[in-house]
């Protein structure tokens, strides 16, 4: 699965260079430039790829389970809040 994640990263790097849309003035739904929609989709794909990277390609030595610290009450009985 790590190779798939790295492949997606490489694909996103290539697709991010959208030289084929620079001169396209098409509006999607009558208001959004096609280039803006393209980059919004690239951003969503990058977020999904990062999710996959953290889920499947994260280094094992960094996966440390840490117990939460116990919560202690540091307020005094006769403090300013009383």
Q: Is residue 48 part of a domain?
A: yes
Cβ within 8 Å of residue 33, ≥6 positions away: 25, 26, 27
The tens digit of pLDDT for each residue in 23-40 reads: 888 899 889 988 889 999
pTM above 0.75, yes or no: no
How many folded domains does the chain comprise? 1
The tens digit of pLDDT for each residue in 61-73 reads: 766 766 777 777 7
Q: Is residue 80 part of a domain?
A: no
Strand ranges (DSSP E) for the chain?
Answer: 27-28, 32-33
Q: What is the pLDDT of residue 76?
A: 63
User: What are the angstrom distances between the C-alpha of 70 and each of 3, 19, 67, 73, 75?
Assistant: 40, 54, 9, 10, 15
Q: What's the domain range around 48? A: 2-59
**Number of Cβ atoms within 10 Å of the Cβ of 2:** 11
């Amino acid at each position: 699965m790590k190779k798939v994640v790295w492949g997606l990263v490489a694909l996103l790097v290539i697709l991010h260079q959208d030289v084929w849309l620079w001169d396209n003035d098409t509006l999607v739904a009558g208001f959004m430039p096609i280039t803006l929609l393209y980059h919004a989709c690239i951003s969503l794909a990058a977020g999904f790829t990062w999710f996959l990277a953290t889920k499947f390609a994260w280094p094992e030595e960094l996966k440390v389970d840490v117990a939460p610290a116990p919560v202690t009450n540091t307020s005094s009985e006769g403090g300013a809040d009383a």
